[in-house]
Structure 1
Amino acid sequence: MKIYKLKLEELDTLVSEVIENFPSGVVILRGDLACGKTTFVKEIVKKLGVSDDVTSPTFSLQQCYGDKIFHYDIYNHGLEHFISLGMLEELDRDGLHFVEWGDDELKSILQSAGIDVLTIDIEKISQDKREYRLDYA
């Protein structure tokens, strides 16, 4: 597990780490409301040179940026609804998939399907600083 304590203006350090070490697969983003999950995805999209506006997919369930960046939010509907819509098959597509509010059950399902998973737990330390815990397992 890697741990970073970063201010927003230092987030590029973490973004570079993820892009270098995890070029494709599913990134599960966990943390309280307004901790910075969507902000992290915005920074990834920007770093990869995609100019799309990044917004939380809370109500749409999925957003796509460029050809290979996918962003999901399962907070409102839960994992069962996500699975019932056939969205697990989406996560097997080539690219980077960011799932906000994913849990250990999703991680287990993905790993058993042979899909690479990175879990990032985000904790708000102060108004302008977050702790990011990365688990590549």
Structure 2
Amino acid sequence: MKKVYSLTLNEINSLVDDIRRDFQEGVIILQGDLAAGKTTFVKKIAKKLGYSEDVTSPTFSLQQCYTDKLFHYDIYNHGLEHFIALGMLEELEKPGLHFIEWGSDELVDILTSAGIQTMTIKIKKISDNAREYIICTH
């Protein structure tokens, strides 16, 4: 299934609500250029789930755990092979929502073949205040 949203940053909560309703557990792969809004999207989800602490990209730490059901990964600096070598795929089996910034189609294939519910969100910057979100469930 594929859906496309064109939203301003003020309208993103409608997308967050749709995803929370339709995808309550599994891995969400976030793809997009630098500054496209990947971490901003995770911040909005975390806020919707009642998490009030600061949400930052785990660019250098690889993983952030915000609650026992909300996880955030960034594989930009280390790559998929390093992520797998560290045994991080096992982390993705934990109940909850797992957001992976810079996840590839290869990772999607690995997750779906393992039976892990997976969604891809491709984020494209339209303007300083608007983004296009292409949502695909696998």
TM range (shorter): over 0.9
User: Which residue of structure 1 aligns with residue 70 of structure 2?
Assistant: 69
Stretches of structure 1 lacking an aligned partner (at least 5 in a row) = none
TM-superposed deviation, 1:118: 0.3
Q: Which amino acid in the other structure matches residue 28 of structure 2?
A: V
- The DSSP-based 3-state class of the residue aligned with 2:29 is strand
User: Which residue of structure 1 aligns with residue 130 of structure 2?
Assistant: 129
TM-superposed deviation, 1:22: 0.3
User: Which residue of structure 1 aligns with residue 57 of structure 2?
Assistant: 56
TM-superposed deviation, 1:76: 0.3
Q: How does 1:1-137 map to 2 (within 5 A)?
A: 1-137=2-138
The percent identity for this pair of structures is 66
User: What is the Cα-based RMSD across aligned positions, in Å?
Assistant: 0.5
TM-superposed deviation, 1:53: 1.0
- The DSSP-based 3-state class of the residue aligned with 2:4 is strand
Contact kept in structure 2, 1:38 and 1:55, CA below 8 Å: yes
- The DSSP-based 3-state class of the residue aligned with 2:125 is strand
- The DSSP-based 3-state class of the residue aligned with 2:107 is helix
| TM-score, scaled to structure 2 | 0.98
Q: Which amino acid in the other structure matches residue 57 of structure 2?
A: S
Stretches of structure 2 lacking an aligned partner (at least 5 in a row) = none
- The DSSP-based 3-state class of the residue aligned with 1:44 is helix
- The DSSP-based 3-state class of the residue aligned with 1:23 is coil
- The DSSP-based 3-state class of the residue aligned with 1:115 is coil
TM-superposed deviation, 1:50: 1.2
Contact kept in structure 2, 1:29 and 1:98, CA below 8 Å: yes
